[in-house]
Structure 1
Amino acid sequence: MITIKILVTGASGNVGSYVVNELLKFNEKVKVAGTNIKKLDVKFGNKVDSVYFDFTDRTTFKEALDGVDRVFLMRPPHLGKPKDLYPFIDEIKAHNIKLVSFLSLMGVESNTIPPHHKIEKYIEKLEIPYSHVRPGFFMQNLSGIHCVEIKEKNEIFIPAGKSKTSFIDAADIGSSIAILLHNPGKYKNTAHTITGPEALDYFEVAEILSKITGRKIKYTKPGFLKYRNYYIKKRGLDKTYVNITVALYFMTRMGTAKKITNSFYELTGRKPHTFEEFVKNNINDFV
């Protein structure tokens, strides 16, 4: 008897790990894919099947999709070109997958700048059953890549100006995606914009962080050039990745990140975490 599984790409990352754990709560059989099998085995143990997978190596596609009927698709941050994912999406089409849930981005249906837009369109063009998830900015951006400046300098170094953002916890994103993959027939050919319950500017974010950490944390509101130079030259991050974040923060200044939706509640029946709850739950990331 063949056991049907759900393939989770990016399983060792913020969202992917939550997707896996939520799917296991539904008693789904899960296959996790990545280039570091040891890391996946340490993270999930024998609760899942692990398979070596690389978006840039077509020879890894067949084994990754063997015995799979649903896929969580996440673009690795270092692959900035939509075409980098097309060969694997072609392979998904060839396997007659019931549903692919792609981790997209809020507002990409009308914003052609981020690579997510073309990836969505390519999935739809191939007529693969899909359920796009379009979250707002992750709260984990602050506890992850941006926590260095928060911890070492007591400052938020992000070029978002005075714009507001409806941050969402990656744990909530994972819950949403798991529900979609668990119910492929119900959510076939749908798109879901999921956000947190409030839109905050980074001055308000700094106030919340200050209150909970007990330190005075400031939002320095850098310009795009200063931010780009710092993250490439000082932090040593990949230029393509930094350029994408600059584009996203440019769009944020245009008001694209402040929308608040009820989609998370409609999917899960509960309210999404507030940023204050997130900071309290992840306080060690900020101190």
Structure 2
Amino acid sequence: MMKVLVTGASGNVGSYVTRELVKLKEPVVAAGTNIQKLSDLFGNQVETVYFDFQDKTTFDKALEGVDRVFLMRPPHLGKPEDLYPIIDAVKAHNIKLVTFLSLMGVENNPIPPHHKIEKYIEKLEIPYAHVRPGFFMQNLSGIHSTEIREENKIFIPAGRSKTSFIDAADIGLATAVLLHDPEKYKNTAHTITGPEALDYFEVAEILSKVTRRKITYTKPGYLKYRNYYIKKRGLDKAYVNVTVALYFMTRMGTAKEITNGFYELTYRKPRTFEEFSKDNLKYFT
């Protein structure tokens, strides 16, 4: 039985993709640079393999006995070309389906790196099923939770724009469905969102209700946000620049669409942000 390779298996989405594939009785190869972390996460439910996007010598072993691949772009690799070598390797292994974790609206937007990565996969004629999710709810419980916890504020330069947030757990489930049935979903793309579009004032209200503290949305400008994240938080400049570009697009209205894509794949309703914040309260307090 051929296996599914999951890149970024210890990450936000990859860990859920891995768990959902295991539930579907798929043999999974969990790939990453920290084997111990992968073993701690999944025990003996999966095979683990050392894999580094920037080291071509790790590709062949990772792809051994594999016929489907979940591909994500690590945040520190800002240039689309950084992913071309692994995509070339996937092409050489006659893979039945590659599911790339892309971005909502990217088909009409050449700015984010995901656009060129999708196009490159298609150009090589690798059977694909792109997943194009809205913003992750985990952005709030992860990278942006520091200010929520420590200062009771949401510090994101999104203006008054609305976002149809989706839980990474739901992205994981939808992705596993695609990888489980490669023939059915060959050469398709799926935009998946949560059930509602919220602005960050509404997000602050929900978090205030759930945490029982007054959380406010401070609506910073791009420069203030960028300086703070690079200088105060010490985050990588290339990473911060990508997030600034995403929030710029969000203000153009690219993140507010609500689709039925998740239900069409899973026959379930996606989780609301309120449900998510209750379940993830520990990150906000």
TM tier, shorter chain?
A: over 0.9
| 2:242 alignment partner in structure 1 | 244
TM-score, scaled to structure 1 = 0.99
The alpha-carbon deviation at position 230 of structure 1 amounts to 0.2
Which of residues 82, 85, 89 in structure 2 aligns to 1:84?
82
The alpha-carbon deviation at position 225 of structure 1 amounts to 0.1
> Residues 189-208 of structure 1 correspond to what in structure 2 (within 5 A)?
189-208=187-206
The alpha-carbon deviation at position 77 of structure 1 amounts to 0.3
| 1:12 alignment partner in structure 2 | 10
CA distance in structure 2 between the aligned counterparts of 1:182 and 1:271, rounded to whole angstroms: 20
| 2:155 alignment partner in structure 1 | 157
> Residues 107-122 of structure 1 correspond to what in structure 2 (within 5 A)?
107-122=105-120
| 1:227 alignment partner in structure 2 | 225
| 1:38 alignment partner in structure 2 | 36
How many residues are paired up?
Answer: 285
Partner SS, residue 227 of structure 1: helix
TM-score, scaled to structure 2 = 1.00
| 1:96 alignment partner in structure 2 | 94
CA distance in structure 2 between the aligned counterparts of 1:202 and 1:85, rounded to whole angstroms: 32
Which of residues 165, 168, 181 in structure 2 aligns to 1:167?
165
CA distance in structure 2 between the aligned counterparts of 1:174 and 1:220, rounded to whole angstroms: 31
CA distance in structure 1 between the aligned counterparts of 2:86 and 2:169, rounded to whole angstroms: 26
CA distance in structure 1 between the aligned counterparts of 2:282 and 2:155, rounded to whole angstroms: 19
CA distance in structure 1 between the aligned counterparts of 2:210 and 2:59, rounded to whole angstroms: 45
Structure 2 residue 136 is the aligned partner of structure 1 residue 134: no
| 2:123 alignment partner in structure 1 | 125
Partner SS, residue 43 of structure 2: helix
CA distance in structure 1 between the aligned counterparts of 2:169 and 2:45, rounded to whole angstroms: 19
| 1:269 alignment partner in structure 2 | 267
| 1:258 alignment partner in structure 2 | 256
CA distance in structure 2 between the aligned counterparts of 1:62 and 1:265, rounded to whole angstroms: 36
CA distance in structure 1 between the aligned counterparts of 2:210 and 2:34, rounded to whole angstroms: 36
Q: Among the aligned pairs, what percent are the same residue? A: 79
Runs (4+) off by over 6 Å: none
Partner SS, residue 243 of structure 1: helix
The alpha-carbon deviation at position 123 of structure 1 amounts to 0.1
The alpha-carbon deviation at position 159 of structure 1 amounts to 0.0
CA distance in structure 1 between the aligned counterparts of 2:130 and 2:159, rounded to whole angstroms: 29
Structure 2 residue 71 is the aligned partner of structure 1 residue 73: yes
The letter of the residue matching 1:133 is V
Superposed CA RMSD in Å reads 0.4
For 1:237-260, what per-residue CA distance to the aligned partner results, in whole angstroms no more than 9, with x for missing partners?
000000000000000000000000
CA distance in structure 1 between the aligned counterparts of 2:20 and 2:112, rounded to whole angstroms: 28
Flag structure 2 segments of 5+ consecutive residues without an equivalent: none
CA distance in structure 2 between the aligned counterparts of 1:248 and 1:26, rounded to whole angstroms: 33
Which of residues 93, 96, 103 in structure 2 aligns to 1:105?
103
The alpha-carbon deviation at position 4 of structure 1 amounts to 1.3
The alpha-carbon deviation at position 36 of structure 1 amounts to 0.6
CA distance in structure 2 between the aligned counterparts of 1:243 and 1:252, rounded to whole angstroms: 14
CA distance in structure 1 between the aligned counterparts of 2:175 and 2:113, rounded to whole angstroms: 20
The alpha-carbon deviation at position 75 of structure 1 amounts to 0.4
For 1:89-108, what per-residue CA distance to the aligned partner results, in whole angstroms no more than 9, with x for missing partners?
00000000000000000000
CA distance in structure 2 between the aligned counterparts of 1:42 and 1:279, rounded to whole angstroms: 25
